[in-house]
Structure 1
């Protein structure tokens, strides 16, 4: 089968989406399929990885994302040869696949666009929701089936009016990388005391991850238990401001910024930790949480879609109802070593359902079904209009939401 992975960004950009595409490509190729990645990048960017076609685009700041209005000639021609196209972004992905593809199109929703819109654009959440109630259904109409990695986000997408069939296929990881890392680290390797209770966060350092709240909640927990340490692994636009915040609160001795680490090395670092913590409420089905479970780390987090599908309170972690309760969850895990050990064993056991081989098998079954049913033949008869006059109701609603109150 010729499979196209269409994405708004790809390696060397590091995030959960590019990691999933990398894994899909690896395991689908090993199963005998031909996988081509279609993406956008620098005009002179050349990929060392085979079967990656980059169309030149305009950089969106330093985000790693690029914009283009059309794919290059090679990408357009190659996309017409695909048996299945699998899109991984709502913008710069699904519409391109519909325009150039001649086969069924699958779209995986990796992002809480409703929450990201409010985080990254100065809009009230009500205005961001209005935007997504229009865009989410319209843009997913470019596809035949939507995949969501968690059932709770399936509910969110339905609430926002997505019309296409939605199937739940959980994200997967290479379990061995985290369950049995090649070079495990100890607390001493990281310069931490033997009696330290180490919580770790792994991920992008950006505003939607709620890292300022994480630092605040950890500081409250450490006031209760001075053995607590927080290891933050990752890079991103908030790295400098986070370092300043840690310094201003005199937390340099207990919160450690480890910086960006190659993905293959993260499992080694997790062996020095006792638990995982995140304050993010914008997740879909976070790979870093799954990786923590595979490493035997109970998770302290906030109950929210995506997280609640993965973390089972009292079994493999603890969930706070609000971010303000995260400090209590941290203290509760740190103060009960026997319970922590039991949760660690449960975390390893629960992670087995997220084996990437299982994810790929489920996705392949969907591909085969779509190749047989060919819903794209009916979809291609539909006319999708993208004229400003068709967006007048959205514009009027935004105007009402953004108008200053009298």
Structure 2
């Protein structure tokens, strides 16, 4: 299959969606599929990226929207750039975003006739403290938009029950299939709980939990 992934964030940005997208692409390619990733330009992106097609972006726009510093905002491509993108022979389009990237996926599906799959990856209510507007206003705009987008696509996926519950709370009553986020277990093979316990004086019988990620309110670390 020829799979087009339309994403608002991709490596070298460091966040869950960028990481999941890269791992999904690797896994699909290992299975013999062709993957084309359509992502915003990043100043630290490699000079050559096989299968990655960069769209114009803005860091100033990211700051205005309250996005993290390492998250350039994708800009809508014009007709000339769109005509140069390999879109017409895609078999399926996938996105994790109900905003511009998702709208592009819907628009591009009309060029190829490919179905659109949406993975609900982000609990947007938990990120409203970054937005330059009152949370009440943000929720009033956000929830119906996400629900309406989910109704327009051909399939909706979620990595866990929390995301399904979010979609239901937003008003989406359609089918949602569970598909866990990919994890590269090889990255953790060298981890040694015994060495950590010795270094920090943690007894063998004491439960040990590790968290790896951002220290931010939406991560619910408390």
Other structure's SS at 1:39 match: strand
Change (3 A) 1:43 1:98: farther
1:106 maps onto 2:113 in alignment: no
Question: For the pair shown, which has the larger CA radius of gyration, 1 or 2?
Answer: 1
Change (3 A) 1:78 1:116: same
Alpha-carbon distance in structure 2 between the residues aligned to 1:23 and 1:2: 16
Quote how far apart the aligned CAs of 1:70 are. 2.0
* Counterpart position of 1:65: 72
Other structure's SS at 1:200 match: coil
Structure 1 unaligned residues grouped into runs of 5+? 211-277, 280-406
Assess if the C-alpha contact under 8 Å between 1:53 and 1:75 holds in 2.
no
Assess if the C-alpha contact under 8 Å between 2:158 and 2:164 holds in 1.
yes
> Aligned residue pairs: how many?
208
TM-score scaled by structure 1?
0.46
TM-score scaled by structure 2?
0.79
1:156 maps onto 2:166 in alignment: yes
Change (3 A) 1:42 1:150: closer
1:182 maps onto 2:182 in alignment: no
* Counterpart position of 1:92: 100
Task: Give a deviation string over 1:7-51, Cα, whole Å, max 9, x none.
Answer: 001001122212211111111111111001110124795554311
- How do 1:1-400 residues align onto structure 2 when only pairs under 5 Å count? 1-42=1-42, 45-59=45-59, 60-61=62-63, 62-70=69-77, 73=81, 77-101=85-109, 102=112, 103-117=114-128, 119-121=129-131, 123-162=133-172, 164-178=174-188, 181-182=189-190, 184=192, 186-187=195-196, 191-193=199-201, 195=203, 199-210=209-220, 278-279=221-222
Assess if the C-alpha contact under 8 Å between 1:4 and 1:35 holds in 2.
yes
Structure 2 unaligned residues grouped into runs of 5+? 64-68
* Counterpart position of 1:258: none
Change (3 A) 1:144 1:50: same
Assess if the C-alpha contact under 8 Å between 2:95 and 2:119 holds in 1.
yes
